[in-house]
Structure 1
């Protein structure tokens, strides 16, 4: 048994300031991509938002999988303890600062 992926995402969304950075960059990327579509094929704002949320979920999955292997506990404070001790959020924050979505990604 482990902390669920949904619980992990909620923790990041509430306690990690890089979440906003990711979402801003991902939203801008999706909106730019949408503008390049023919007008008949353009997505509505809800679909753009859904695609942005999917990008977030996919981007955090490898981190969750790695932590799950390391922490081996369903107890949320064990996860938080590990994340703090290993400065996971600091590393993730640095990655968010360098994050750049382009057509190749």
Structure 2
């Protein structure tokens, strides 16, 4: 499974994606409030920054899983993810997640 396929899989099959994105958007909006008025980002840029946070966090997870799975075959990845309750563990992590500047 490629990283892009992994992201797509998570975004389509993981409820925690929406929770992460909301927390990340809230964090980016708070950061945005502290910028000078002329340098404040529009909503699109805030959302893009939040998505970059998602991608960065999931890149770490992907790299960790890649060392365990050692296969490019997608169904091997999904089997491992289900068998090792990766999404459940990730859900718990995201529930406890707080972004602090």
Fold equivalence (TM over 0.5): yes
**Aligned position for 1:37:** 35
**Aligned position for 2:59:** 61
Q: Distance in 1 between matches of 2:18 and 2:71?
A: 28
**Aligned position for 1:46:** 44
Residue deviations 1:50-101 (CA, integer Å, cap 9, x gap): 1011000001111100111111111111100000111111110000100000
**Aligned position for 1:101:** 99
- RMSD (CA atoms): 0.7
SS in 2 for 1:37: coil
**Aligned position for 1:76:** 74
**Aligned position for 1:20:** 18
In the superposition, the TM-score normalised over structure 1's length comes to: 0.93
Measure how far apart 1:8 and its partner are: 0.2
Structure 1 gap segments, 5+ residues each = none
Is residue 2:49 matched to residue 1:88? no
Q: Distance in 2 between matches of 1:27 and 1:100?
A: 12
Aligned residues: 101
Runs of 4+ in 1 over 3 A off after TM superposition: none
